[in-house]
Amino acid sequence: DIVMTQSPDSLAVSLGERATINCKSSQSVLYSSNNKNFLAWYQQKPGQSPKLLIYWASIRESGVPDRFSGSGSGTDFTLTISRLQAEDVAVYYCQQFYSTPWTFGQGTKVEIK
């Protein structure tokens, strides 16, 4: 199984500041045939189910604010919230869909400082 490891486990950021979450996969999730990274990011607010933010590592889902961005390739990825808003308080997960079984990171909790 591909192990997804996120860092940090939690972070506190001031409103309007940048939040950066890292995700590392135990093997590359870059598919050579189409040069796409098979990685997604989700946001889970308290009491809710996860919501898709980004797929193909950097493609923002429709309706997701542009302060959310994804980057990286191969085994190292980053989710950036450029200007943290109060409604961004949540747990964020990365997920690989390169190799079955599809696996998730352990989550990163984002709070307001």
Partner 1 sequence: QVHLQESGPGLVKPSATLSLTCAVSGVSISSSNWWTWIRQSPEKGLEWIGDIHHSGATNYNPSLKSRVTMSVDKAKNTFSLRLTSVTAADTAAYYCAREGGNGIPVSGVGNWFDPWGPGTLVTVSS
Binding-site ranges for partner 1 (CB under 8 A): 31, 38, 40, 42, 48-52, 55, 61, 93, 95-104, 106-107
CB 74 to partner 1: min, Å: 17
Select 50 or 72, whichever has its Cβ closest to partner 1: 50
Strands 10-13 and 108-112: parallel
Q: CB of 30: closest distance to partner 1 in angstroms?
A: 13
Closest CA to 72 of 103, 105, 109, 41: 41
Of 19 and 40, which has the nearer Cβ to partner 1? 40
CB 23 to partner 1: min, Å: 13
Beta carbon nearer to partner 1, 3 or 12? 3
Tokens 């308290």 sit at which residue? 46
> What angle is formed at CA 25 by the lines to CA 21 and CA 27, rounded to 5 degrees?
160
**Residue 87 phi, psi (nearest 5):** -75, -5
Smaller CB separation from partner 1, 9 or 17: 9
The rounded distance, in Å, linking the Cα atoms of 11 and 110 is 5
